[in-house]
Structure 1
Amino acid sequence: MTDPRAESRGRPEIGVLGPLTVRVDGVERAPSARMARRVLSVLLLHADRPAPMTAFIDELWPQEPPRLARKTVQTYVYDLRRRLPRIATCPDGHGYLLRLDGAALDLRDFERLLALARTAFAGRDAETAADTLREALALWRGPAAFADVEAGPLLAARTCYLDELRLDTVELRIEAELMLGRHHCLIGELKGLLAAHPLHEAFGAQLMLAAHRAGQRATALAAYDRLRRTLAAGLGVEPSWRLRRLRQAVLTESPALAWTPGARAPV
């Protein structure tokens, strides 16, 4: 019988959902030099795909590249190859390719779990969806991806996207929990999420619904009023039609807001 520990020996474990880490057999192999970490981040953003030389130059020197920019990138890649031999030069000689070849990358695992959860959610399997989404969110080791890497245009855009994807995942997990009737347990978490993201209408709507279902009508209405004031002060806008309709449903104690096992939340 093959020993799974032997199979995993020498396999890099790469983390980007938080500080950048590269571990091989438990030993940290990520470079400490600032620019080398940025080069590695570009390679990881293009994992299993060619990363053109222009991507490195645009990321490292977005304003005015130095005369020897290409040579500098080559030097950093040479150093990275001693840590990660999986880096190959593209056939045309104008870029590099990082092959994962079975390496563990937390971002790939997160995306895989999120896809599985969405499939379960679409099939109204809220229990599986909630469990899978919790597993996906547990992969994050900090509030932002590539948290300790200086970001140029490419990395900044990608981390912004990942931050939004993480919030969407939290929102979906809470929706699955609401489908399971766990509204009492969600109120405190949703208050914290709104404190951290005061303009996030979806979290506001979920707090209103959870509080209403828990018999805390005043809490639900206070959440709406607080969000309305925040939107007006921060963006100069009123709450969305969806949120105004939810407030009216709370005021009239609409039966549509009652929990029904397996039914999606009407928010």
Structure 2
Amino acid sequence: MRYELLGPLRVVTDEGDVASIGAQKIETLLEVLLIRADQVVGTEQLMGEIWSERVPRRATAGLHVYVSQLRKFLNRCGRPTSPVVTRPPGYLLRAGDDELDYREFVRLVDWGREHSREQRHDQASRFFEEALALWRGPIPCDLSTGPILEGFMTWLAEMHLECTEMLIDAQLELGQHREVVGRLYSLVAEHPLREAFYRQLMLALYRSDRQADALEVYRSVRRTLNDELGLEPCRALQELHRAILVADYALEHEATV
């Protein structure tokens, strides 16, 4: 069986059937147990994740009901023996041989990072692309999320952005500067305070013989940072700006694999 959290939560059976949970609180329960797979999650923690700061008086009884319903759901997905077991002071989900997509995502990112360190940019690019392909869309965000889920979603979002940055760095090393320009324009619009994407866009534009556009990107990020935070661009952006102004030969690049 495969559990997928990189998008709306769903379970994929060994036969390839896809199942989703309609009830929000049971879905939250499964998400938390998957995030802490093979670890005991205390009942107090689970109740805090499910009800946040509004834990009802009969929350313990309610949690027992949700655990029972979750076990029935997983049983319908083809697990005759429930992976959710009672372990004081709470519950544990045994992952066993089941797959978790976010763990696969992390493995692929780590492999890509290792290849990047060894200057194997073609292989690194493939691993980063495989990692990003696992995402099925935005992860639903509940405003009443507890600390476990909130921390997990924050970590995943940062990992996703880091993977995207490393992929584009690898593509720039491979001489694919023209191919990444459009995507980078979208990324700086979506993440206007993330300076790494501006740096990559400026470099991609410069290598595409668009020096004036690269300088306009710098003016744009400088205005944004000044208006939003009262800050100047980071040193890397300032140095790249100066290098573009003098057409520094060091900015030229020969594609490497």
**1:23 — aligned with what?**
12
Name the structure 2 match of 1:193: 187
Q: Distance in 1 between matches of 2:34 and 2:143?
A: 12
The answer on 1:71 being equivalent to 2:61 is yes
Does the Cα contact within 8 Å between 1:212 and 1:220 map onto a contact in 2? yes
Give the Cα–Cα distance (whole angstroms) in 2 for the partners of residues 107 and 64 of structure 1. 29
Q: Conserved in 1, the CA contact under 8 Å of 2:51 and 2:144?
A: no
Counterpart in the other structure of 1:119: 114
Per-residue CA deviation, residues 53-82 of structure 1 (Å, 9 max, x unaligned), is: 122022123324222222211111111112
Q: 1:236 Cα deviation (Å)?
A: 1.6
Q: Percent identity?
A: 38
Moved more, 102-111 or 19-28: 19-28
- Tell me which residue corresponds to 2:79: none
Contact 1:212–1:250, Cα closer than 8 Å, also in 2: yes
1:194 and 1:200 in contact (8 A); partners too = yes
Partner of 1:83: 73
Deviations for 1:163-213, whole angstroms, at most 9, x for unmatched residues?
Answer: 111001000000000111111111111111111111110000000011111
- CA distance in structure 1 between the partners assigned to 2:127 and 2:53 by the alignment: 42
Match of 2:128 in 1: 133
Give yes or no for contact 1:190–1:203 (8 Å, CA) kept in 2.
Answer: yes
Residue in structure 2 matched with residue 170 of structure 1 by the alignment:
164
Structure 1 position 224, deviation (Å): 0.6
Match for residue 226 of structure 1?
A: 220
Q: TM-score, normalised by structure 2?
A: 0.91
Gaps of 5+ in 1: 1-11
Does 196-205 or 233-242 show the bigger shift? 233-242
Q: State the partner residue of 1:46.
A: 36
Cα deviation for residue 141 of structure 1 reads 0.5
Contact 1:19 1:149 (8 Å CA) reproduced:
no
Shift of 1:245: 0.8
CA distance in 1, matches of 2:141, 2:95: 21
Any runs of at least 4 consecutive aligned residues in structure 1 with deviations exceeding 4 A, and if so which? Answer: 146-150
**Unaligned segments of structure 2, at least 5 residues:** 75-81
Aligned residue identity for 1:61: W
1:93-112 matched pairs, under 5 angstroms: 93-112=88-107
Query: Which of 228, 243, 262 does residue 256 from structure 2 map onto?
Result: 262
1:149 deviation in Å? 9.3
Q: Residue type of the partner of 1:107? A: Y
1:239 to 193, 208, 233: 233
